[in-house]
Amino acid sequence: MAHPLQLGFQDAMSPIMEELLHFHDHTLMIVFMISAMVLYIIMLMMTTKLTYTNTMNAQEVEMIWTILPAIVLITIALPSLRVLYLMDEINNPHLTIKAIGHQWYWTYEYTDYDNLEFDSYMIPTQDLPNGYFRLLEVDHRMMMPMESPIRMLISAEDVLHSWAVPSLGVKTDAVPGRLNQTTFIVTRPGVFYGQCSEICGANHSFMPIVVESLPLQHFENWSTMSS
């Protein structure tokens, strides 16, 4: 989850999110360099006493300020496409979990082995146990095994929703009548929070997503106990 006064991304809990962090660092550095240069040039323009009213041709500088931005764009595009293709790699998931969005809660279905299905509602603020996070906690978390590729099939029962967990680098729209697939691997055990990311009515801000990743043995225990 986010911590107070946080400015950057949450720490990456999946390999794709790590790639996204590095790509963002790379691109943001380029953005800062360009902004600094533009700011410097603006300052120079505003504080010069020189004037020249007869500009006709500027062939050389036109060449430079066309070629250089093209190079910058290529420098950004190549890593970007690399991450994009990494996301689409075939990774042979060990487990398929379905997340269905409703107004205003999520349903998780684990139908690979047994028929395990449950709803996940937000815990209202007045019912929060001590020290729990306001507007983020749910009554039943989505459990999953760590270090295993997981396939998520996301859909919705009524209106558009979006299933998002920032620390895993996942955001997938839940469209009624459609199955959207996303895959990820969670590298660490822990509890990861997210919130519905597509406006879906009055309680759109009050249907969070909580993913808890466990070592496989513990996940199997939970799965057996719950179904």
Partner 1 sequence: MLASRAFSLIGKRAISTSICLRGHAGVAKVEDYALPGYIDRRDIPLPQLEYIKNLSAEQKALKEKEKASWSALSIDEKVGLYRIKFNETFAEMNRGSNEWKTVIGGTLFFFGVTALIVIWQRLYVYGPVPHTFSEEWVAMQTKRMLDMRVNPIEGFSAKWDYDKNEWKK
Interface residues with partner 1 (CB under 8 A) are: 1, 3, 6, 10-12, 49, 51-53, 125, 128, 130-134, 167, 190-191
Q: Quickly tell me which residue has 């997503």 as its tokens.
A: 209
Tokens describing residue 51 = 């004037």
Nearer to partner 1, 13 or 97 (CB): 13
Distance of closest approach, residue 191 Cβ to partner 1, in angstroms: 6
- Of residues 152, 156, 146, the one with CA closest to residue 207: 156
Task: Classify 147 as helix, strand or coil.
Answer: coil
Contact 97, 110 (CB under 8 A): yes
Distance of closest approach, residue 11 Cβ to partner 1, in angstroms: 4
Tokens describing residue 178 = 């459609």
Q: Quickly tell me which residue has 């790590």 as its tokens.
A: 18
Nearer to partner 1, 18 or 173 (CB): 18
| For the chain, counts of helices (H) and of strands (E) | 3, 10
Distance of closest approach, residue 203 Cβ to partner 1, in angstroms: 16
Distance of closest approach, residue 1 Cβ to partner 1, in angstroms: 6
Nearer to partner 1, 65 or 132 (CB): 132
Q: How far is it, in rounded angstroms, from Cα 170 to Cα 138?
A: 19
